Each structure stands twice: as structure tokens, then as C-alpha cells.
Amino acid sequence: MQLKAKYIDMETAEYTCVLHVDDAREMGVREQDRVRIKHDRSSVVALVHTTDTIVQQGEVGILGRAYARLGPDKDEVIDVVATTRPAAVEFIKKKMAGKELSTAEIRTIVSDIADHTLSNIELTAYVTSLEINGMNIRETADLTMAMVETGEVIEFDRSPVFDFHSIGGCPGNKITLIVVPIVAAAGLLIPKTSSRAISSACGTADIVEVFADVDFDSNKLRSISESTGGALAWGGSMNLAPADDVIIRVEYPLGIDPHAQLLASVMSKKKAVGADFLAIDIPVGEGTKVKTMEKAQAFAKDFVELGELLNIHVEVAITYGDQPVGRAIGPALESREAIRILEGVPHPSSVIEKAAGMAGMVLEMGGIPNGEARARELLASGKALDKFREIVGAQGGNPDITSEDIKVGEFTYDVLSKTCGYVNGIRNRDLVRLARTAGSPKDKGAGVLLHKKKGNRVNTGEPLFTIYADNKAKLDRAINLSRSLSPIAVEGMILAKLPYVSKSTVIERTFCPVPSTHQEE
């Protein structure tokens, strides 16, 4: 049908056009059908919205990018014809019917996703079908490879390539800043790419950005990694497994992350940088993605098996995730804590333990015996700190950086304990909400610093944690929120609940137990 082109100043994820209901009926297309719009020698396939107000009969409204790509003059008459739905939709329906998909079918789906061809409705049908019906390991490997092949692949001048990944969900997990320099200081190549926060308090890329650039193309990642042996880059600035970013568009609003998609998402980014050896950290605990040890073990098994099919040697550490790693949550607070550890602060810490353990796993995969001990040596000798500074310098930061250089939020508020006893529970999610409300990850100085962790003794009026913010308004919002949350539970508080009689009523409200030895740090 010949229609007058009209520009609509609006952008959507999909190429979109608007047809008058009567024209749409005439063409036999409905809302969410697709049409091909042709002008000169270019054409786009766009999803159809129908209207009886925005455009008149005889007009086609074309949104944002699609209009720019076609480039018609105002009111120029262009050709609009109905077209069929993408091939991927039939294969999505096959998965909906609970059937196994072939390699070619999975490739078609992923390539239509990566090309932005699928609508939100079609993408959601895919993700929901995957959430319910799953994929076997063969399908998951095909999914991973399809995601790799529809994006950029980076090759380094030497091999093997080592990599490390935490599936996340545990706040304060700044160990990447320590693992990468240790591994690189040991002479292994670890071109690490990380993500930014989606719903967490902050991602590794958000932390590194406090003191160095993270936004590189693949050439720059290659040169930094080849010269220093390591990198702390943001994966999002490269085009690695781009289908993943499209899929997140519908996973996020539903709060789901289908198992096969999660596996493929992790592994595709590693395969895209040519990883030969990969250490994976699966934090387990109430506030994390994986709640039980059984689930973590099943997850680990899937990663190892998938690695075999993809020719990546995978080792998994299941780690304690019932409370934050270390004490700091938020970009600047976490970088300061990590750099202090690299500088050799003497106190024991869950950060050191986890980082040395994970780095040790990587070193052993690289043929270095007693990996964890070697990792601790590299930390203690200052070689990891030297390597860290070298990487920071290569990424445009200060090559003489110290923890003193890190500026944390100037507006602070101490949350005090209303009772005394022991910390017997920390709610990761509440801490994440507080850190985000205070401005993290965008406001680099914002976050939460814990003074007490599980098993620590607390007196009434002692500070449990401090909220940091870069501005007063956000601090006030976080303070307000803190009044409705109890991120740190101190034993004894529940005694106040009446008329219900708890089993611990034998302990009096004012009873303060003596310090115990099971404090974490």
C-alpha cells in the first residue's frame, strides 16, 4: 500500500510504525503484525501499532530510528507491505510445546534476538518457555555458541586465557579487584570483563570506574591485557554476546532468569574472550541467587559439563553468601576496602580469604602448585599491588594509587543498635536497598559500611553500620528507609514480640552475652 510518511518523535526497542486502523484492516495486518516499509533502495521491517488519531488514513507514522534509516521526505509517499512473522517464532512455540530444539533452530532464535527482530511479546514467550521447559546441556551449549557467534570474538596473542566469574547476588563482592592482579602477577593472562549493577548495589565495573576507565573497545582490552597480563574492563562496551542484553529487557521486568539462559549468558562472554580455564564463584545463601547447597551443586555440575562441550576447563567454588563479603558496599567504599587489602592491611577478612581462595584455584589451573598459598604470598609481597597499579595505569588511572586517594561520601549517618546481643542475621537485600537509595552505584561515594557482622557482639547504642551519600537529600531518603528495615538482626530483639511467647523468652531483654570466638573478622 502507498502511504504518506510521517515522522513520530519517539523511540522504542523495536522498529515500529503506526498505521490507521482502516489501512491496517485493508492490508490485513493487526497490532503487533509486521510490515516492510520501502523507500528508494532501503527497507525496514517494523512492528505495527494501529491508531485512529495519530495518523490519518493514507499515512504511515514511522518512529525514531526506523525513519532515520529510511530517510523519506516529509509526506513523501512510500510503499508498505505486510510481511510474515520471523522464523524464530515457530521455534519458540516448539520450546513452548516442551520439545528439544535443534542447533539450527536455536541459532535462528538467537540471531533474530541479536538483530532486534523479535518483539517484546515474542521475547517474553521465549524467556517464559525457557523458564518453564528448560534446555538440556546440548541445547544450552548450542545457545551459548549462537550467542558467541552473533557477537564479537576477541583473540589474544598468547594462550591459554584464564578467566574468573562470580554469578553474583552477594553484596560487597569486590574480590575481582584482588583476584585479577594476583593472577596476572603470577604470569597468567586474565583479560577480565565485568558488568555494571542491574539490581545489585554495584557491579565490578561500577567499582573500578572510581579510579580508572572501564569503557574500552576490544582492541584496547587486547592491548591492556597483553601488556599487563590482566584487565578490569566493562564488558558492556564491547559487543560480546549481544543477544544477552536484548533478553535482559524482558527478564528484568519479570524478575526471572531461566537456568539455561543464565548458564549461556555467563559462558558466552567467557567463550567470546577465548577463555581456556575458568573459575566460577557461586555464593549460596538466603539473600543470593542460589538459596541452597543442593542447588549450588547442581548449578556447578551444569557449568562443568557445559564447559566440556565448549572446550573450557571449568572449576567452581561454592562460597558463603549469607552476609556481604567484607564490610563495604558501594563503589568508592568497596574500592577503598579492596586497595587496603592489596596494600597489606593486617586484619583477617572474608575478602582476603575469598580472593586468595579464588585466585588460588586459577593459579592451580595454570599449573602453579599450592595456589592459595602462592596467592597469599603475591598479596603479602606487594607484587599483587604493583600489578594492580600497573593495570590501573594502563586503564588511564593513577599508577601510584593508594587507598587514601579514594573519596567516599561526605554525608554519613550511623545506624545504632537498639539492643544488645549477637548479630545473628544480615539481610543482603535490605543493605542493597539502602545503598541504592543513598545513590549507589551512580553516586560513587554512596553506600553502606558495616561495623558488625554475623556472630559479632553488639551493645545497645553501638553503631551497626554507616550510610554514606554524596548528597544530603539522598542520605535523608536512605535514613528514612532504614527506619522501616532491619538489615542487621541482633539476638534478643525478638523478645519484645508479645503476646506471642518465643522459645527464647528465658533470655531477658537486657541480657548481654560475653564475646564469643565465632566472629568472622
Residues near its own copies (CB under 8 A) are 8-13, 18, 25-26, 28, 30-33, 49, 51, 53-54, 61, 63-64, 85, 89, 93, 96, 98, 119-122, 124-125, 128-129, 131-133, 198, 249-250, 252-256, 436-437, 442
Query: What CA–CA distances, in Å, run from 33 to 46, 85, 189?
Result: 8, 7, 49
* Distance of alpha carbon 279 from alpha carbon 270, whole angstroms: 11
Residue (4 or 454) nearer to its own copies, CB: 4
Instruction: Please provide the DSSP assignment of 116-147 as one string.
Output: T-S-HHHHHHHHHHHHHH---HHHHHHHHHHH
Q: How far is the CB of 249 from its own copies (least distance, A)?
A: 7
Nearer to its own copies, 93 or 383 (CB): 93
- Min dist CB 352 to its own copies, Å, is 32
Q: What is the rounded end-to-end Cα distance, in angstroms, of the chain? A: 72
Least Å distance, CB 305 to its own copies, is 25
In whole angstroms, how close is the CB of 465 to its own copies at the nearest point?
Answer: 20
Cell numbers placing 457: 557482639
Local structure of 299: helix, strand or coil: helix
Nearest by Cα to 353 from 364, 365, 341: 341
| CB 477, min distance to its own copies, A | 10
8-state DSSP, 405: G
Task: Return the number of the residue (54 or 493) whose C-beta is nearest its own copies.
Answer: 54
CA distances from 170 to 33, 251, 281, 443, 519 (A): 42, 20, 11, 20, 19
Nearer of residues 63 and 312 to its own copies, judged by Cβ: 63
Cis amide leading into 346 (omega within 30): no
Nearer to its own copies, 256 or 368 (CB): 256
The closest of 214, 256, 271 to 441, measured between CA atoms, is 214
CA dihedral 266, 221, 108, 68 (to 10 degrees): 130
Between 58 and 367, whose beta carbon lies closer to its own copies? 58
DSSP category for residue 321: -
Q: Check if the beta carbon of residue 79 is closer than 8 Å to that of residue 1.
A: yes
Least distance from its own copies to the Cβ atom of residue 80, Å: 15
Shortest approach of its own copies to residue 296 CB, angstroms?
20
The three cell numbers locating residue 1:
500500500
Q: Please identify which of the residues 115, 215, 245, 257 carries the catalytic annotation.
A: 257
Angstrom distances, CA of residue 164 to CA of 220, 355, 378? 20, 11, 18
* Residue 499 C-beta: closest distance to its own copies, Å: 29
Cell 559479632 locates to 456
| Minimum CB distance to its own copies, residue 32 (Å) | 4
Instruction: Write out the three cell numbers for 479.
Output: 535514613
Q: Is 257 a catalytic residue?
A: yes
| Alpha helices in 193-316, H assignment, sequence order | 204-208, 218-228, 243-254, 259-272, 293-310
| 445 alpha carbon, distance to own chain's centre | 20
DSSP for 443-490 reads STT-EEEES--TT-EE-TT-EEEEEEESSHHHHHHHHHHHHH--SEEE
Phi-psi region of 40 (alpha: psi -120 to 50; beta: other; left: phi over 0): left
Contact 60, 37 (CB under 8 A): yes
For residue 22, the minimal CB distance to its own copies (Å) is: 8
* Most distant CA atoms of the chain, gap in Å: 84
Sheet (strand 457-458) strand order: 457-458, 421-426, 488-490
Active site residues: 257
